Structure 1
Amino acid sequence: MSVAPPEPRHPAPRRPAWAAAARERPAPRLSAKLRDRLPGWLGPGDREVLWLYLLTRISIWITAYCVRWMFPGDGRAHEPSRLLEPFERWDWGHYLHIARDGYFPGESGPWDKKWDSREAFFPGFPLLLRALHTVIPSWGAAGLLISFVGGAVGVVALARIARLRLPGTDGDRRTVLFFLLSPCAVFLAVGYTEALFLAFALPGWLAAQRQRWAAAALLTALATTVRISGLFLAAAIAVHFALTAVRTRGHWRSLPWLALPALPPALYGWYLQAHTGDWMAWKHAQERGWSRTFETPWKSWSQTWDAAFGGGQSTGFAAMFQAELVAMVLGLVLLGVLLWRRRWAEAAYIALTLWALGTSYWFMSIPRSTLLWWPLWIGLAGWSVRWPQVRTVYLCLVAPLSTVLTLTFLSGRWAG
């Protein structure tokens, strides 16, 4: 019996050493630190807070739809109000007039008897609104789009700041949840400046935390085009810079960047001086139109208390003044906690904000300003991580307040 000879074996072709090494190495992956440095990179946590943001926007849009049918301007109407009318309230009219007609159309100005004091509002939001209107015919839709995109950027930045403060927890999601369900959160969904301001201010603060001073200064400068509060953020970043520079060599070379946020208010003052002869025309417009004349803090408290409980105001306005008092107390408690924990930079931001809002004839817009107090929402989230009951208590308490204020604003009543 013959046996077939075995087939000759040919040695396998040798692969280059670099090919074998490439097959053994795992595919490169971005580290968490690098992902955080890429502004366009959305991690799972970012996508989760954006999903929460979208859900809360849908809930406000549903509420606005119901308001059109149930609370029309005329109680005997047989047709609902215009689609976007619930969002176009109060300050929106000033932004619209500035974007459409400019600050001083024709020969009008503060010297006119019926002047609307529109120069009190900084130009960042109206300029962007005017630019967007070139491609979106509806002014209202353009304003809503600015706030929608700005709010999305803001919540992502807020979540990333929370991760720096509360690592290893779900504090970022809790922070955004508390923020989006807060009583005044409706102002993030309308054509107001809060969302756009946060879209610049929170990434600016995040850049400062990472010691990227040029980016922080540029973003803060953009924030100052929207609200004077940008200067308070610039002061907080300056404090953070000073504390960091003491411990780190070479940081002082970035010091000139910190002057950049003062440029937009200076340019706006120069523009106002050219048209009115007054560098501080925006401040005087606030005094003339909204009684923001300087008063001592205790006198301002007393006058707000009288407006809230003295019986001289209608019930709706009195309730809003009561909210102003509560918000001021909340701000003072927050300031005390920040000082106790030696978080000097954030304390400086809150202190300047409270001083600016608490030294007028009476308190005004403090509840809305809580949306800009990121240490408040991160602090509540950290508290709820240690004490889980805090989240339940918070949600149960703010649910009726948020609902009432949302309905109040969307139906055209004063919600401050």
Structure 2
Amino acid sequence: MPVSAPHRPAAAGRSRPAPPGRPALPRSRRALRAPRWLGPADREVLWLYLLTRVGLWTTAGAVGWLFPSDGESRRPPSLLAPWERWDWAFYLRIARDGYFPDATGPWTVGWDNREAFLPGFPLVLRAVHTVVPSWAASGALISFVAGGVAVLALARLARERLGHDDAGRRAAAFLLVSPCAVFLAAGYTESLFLALALPAWLAAQRRSWAAASVLTCLACSVRVTGLFLAAALTLHFLMTVRIRTAWRAAPWLLLPALPPLLHTWYLHAGTGDWQAWKHSQERGWYREFHLPWEAWSHTWTAAFGHTRPTGYAIMWQAELLAMVTGLVLLAVLARGRHWPEALYIALTLWALGTSYWYTSVPRSTLLWWPLWISLAGWSLHRRWVRGAYLYVASPLCTTVAITFLTGRWAG
């Protein structure tokens, strides 16, 4: 006959039993009721973040030695040189010279269409540069600090959504080793956007509408994706408001429209064109409207039609795969009735999927926080998911990092 284990008194620091008549909550949910500024779970996420930063910067240093711009060079480039690629040049020019230096603009031969880039990141870059002499170091510092804020917010979102302490670590890990994670360390907008968007969504989950709106407003100055976040925020507000007094917060939801309106006004003042942003996108990146199946067809031809060099063709193959991933994610969110997040993903896919061909869809996956939370939830129920993801994504992460750091197109 089995014998019951002797009763042991609760150890110091352990939670007390629930009062009579009130069911005890799981340990993870009790912890969520009284979060600390940086609890043990947060510190583990930051440690993971620092380790992945070391890995990426080690890769950048190795790339500088292995793939110098001059094959006969006896000295490696600076550690920051491999990061100064592609879109970084636009942010640097805007931060240093403004949008229309010396009366140049779209009417100038060889114009770079810099007005396609929103001012949020260049403004922060210029501000940091007043303290940090190197422009490249300023960009790297912005992304480093913003990335830390972003992974903390993502981890907290995952823990609150899934009610499990390990969910935050998993969501952060899935993001930090995702194929395009190199852009979280580069002087690009992804980290800064996430550092604003994820705390905004976390505030919205806690019904702090003023804070959510202010953060979303700032996110709208960094990437146009902020408008999609604002739409999701509005839908979330409409779905969760229950009492009449809560409607007093509704005017805050108009705040995110301010940055796009101001940017449009500024560009009109410089160009005389109310659609200057749209036209610059069309001139520089073929972002004129096409039906979704036309965009898919053009991208498919570029990827598999043997009409492009292989280095570009494989990136268009990645664009197709990322679009399919987004569509699957959208279906999962709709099935789970996560309508605000589904709206955010749907608007993102519509914007990316209605150009001449797909551009930067893999990079945009970094901004799909429901993807990383969904993967974390799936891995909690299926143990093999985390291992399978890490074994496949890690080599891809390194491949894309080397591609970007050597100056090749990486989306």
Q: State the TM-score, normalized to the length of structure 1.
A: 0.90
* 2:130 equivalent to 1:134: yes
Residue 348 of structure 1 aligns with an amino acid whose one-letter code is L
Residue 260 of structure 1 aligns with an amino acid whose one-letter code is L
- C-alpha separation in 2, matches of 1:107 and 1:124: 22
Which residue in 2 is equivalent to 1:227?
A: 223
Which residue in 2 is equivalent to 1:314?
A: 309
Deviation at 1:248, TM superposition (A): 3.8
Deviation at 1:383, TM superposition (A): 0.3
Match of 1:92 among 73, 88, 93: 88
- C-alpha separation in 1, matches of 2:34 and 2:215: 20
Residue 241 of structure 1 aligns with an amino acid whose one-letter code is F
Q: What secondary structure does 2:409 align onto?
A: coil
Q: What secondary structure does 1:170 align onto?
A: helix
Q: What secondary structure does 2:101 align onto?
A: coil
Residue 108 of structure 1 aligns with an amino acid whose one-letter code is T
Which residue in 2 is equivalent to 1:124?
A: 120
Contact 2:32 2:160 in 1 (8 A): no
- C-alpha separation in 2, matches of 1:346 and 1:277: 37
Q: What secondary structure does 2:74 align onto?
A: coil
Which has the larger displacement, 73-82 or 360-369? 73-82
Q: What does the per-residue CA deviation read over 1:97-146, in whole Å, with 9 as the maximum and x for residues that have no partner?
A: 00000000001000112000000000000011111111111000000000
The 5 A counterparts of 1:114-193 are 114-193=110-189
Q: What does the per-residue CA deviation read over 1:131-175, in whole Å, with 9 as the maximum and x for residues that have no partner?
A: 111111100000000000000000000001001111134111010
Q: What does the per-residue CA deviation read over 1:236-274, in whole Å, with 9 as the maximum and x for residues that have no partner?
A: 0101000001x3442211111000000011001000010
* 2:47 equivalent to 1:51: yes
Q: What secondary structure does 1:256 align onto?
A: helix
Which residue in 2 is equivalent to 1:323?
A: 318
- C-alpha separation in 2, matches of 1:113 and 1:315: 31
- C-alpha separation in 2, matches of 1:34 and 1:267: 40
Q: Which runs of 5+ in 1 are unaligned?
A: 1-25
Which residue in 2 is equivalent to 1:405?
A: 400
Segments ≥4 residues shifted beyond 2 Å: 31-36, 247-250
Which residue in 2 is equivalent to 1:14?
A: none
Which residue in 2 is equivalent to 1:11?
A: none
Which residue in 2 is equivalent to 1:70?
A: 66
- C-alpha separation in 2, matches of 1:64 and 1:178: 21
Which residue in 2 is equivalent to 1:273?
A: 268
Residue 410 of structure 2 aligns with an amino acid whose one-letter code is A
Deviation at 1:34, TM superposition (A): 6.9
Residue 289 of structure 1 aligns with an amino acid whose one-letter code is G
Q: What secondary structure does 1:211 align onto?
A: coil
Contact 2:90 2:114 in 1 (8 A): yes
Q: What secondary structure does 1:191 align onto?
A: coil
Q: What secondary structure does 2:103 align onto?
A: coil
Which residue in 2 is equivalent to 1:344?
A: 339
Residue 211 of structure 2 aligns with an amino acid whose one-letter code is A
Contact 1:169 1:385 in 2 (8 A): no
Residue 239 of structure 2 aligns with an amino acid whose one-letter code is L
- C-alpha separation in 1, matches of 2:278 and 2:39: 42
Match of 2:410 among 401, 411, 415: 415
Deviation at 1:415, TM superposition (A): 0.3
- C-alpha separation in 2, matches of 1:76 and 1:83: 18
Deviation at 1:325, TM superposition (A): 0.1
Paired-residue identity, %: 65
Q: What secondary structure does 1:339 align onto?
A: helix
Contact 2:48 2:173 in 1 (8 A): yes
Which residue in 1 is equivalent to 2:23?
A: none
Match of 1:284 among 273, 279, 285: 279
Q: What does the per-residue CA deviation read over 1:353-376, in whole Å, with 9 as the maximum and x for residues that have no partner?
A: 000000000000000000000000
Q: State the TM-score, normalized to the length of structure 2.
A: 0.91
Which residue in 2 is equivalent to 1:5?
A: none
* 2:257 equivalent to 1:262: yes
Contact 2:291 2:354 in 1 (8 A): yes
Which residue in 2 is equivalent to 1:208?
A: 204
Which residue in 2 is equivalent to 1:102?
A: 98
- C-alpha separation in 2, matches of 1:279 and 1:60: 41
- C-alpha separation in 2, matches of 1:155 and 1:303: 35
Contact 2:352 2:359 in 1 (8 A): yes
Deviation at 1:32, TM superposition (A): 4.8
Contact 1:293 1:361 in 2 (8 A): yes
- The count of aligned residue pairs is 383
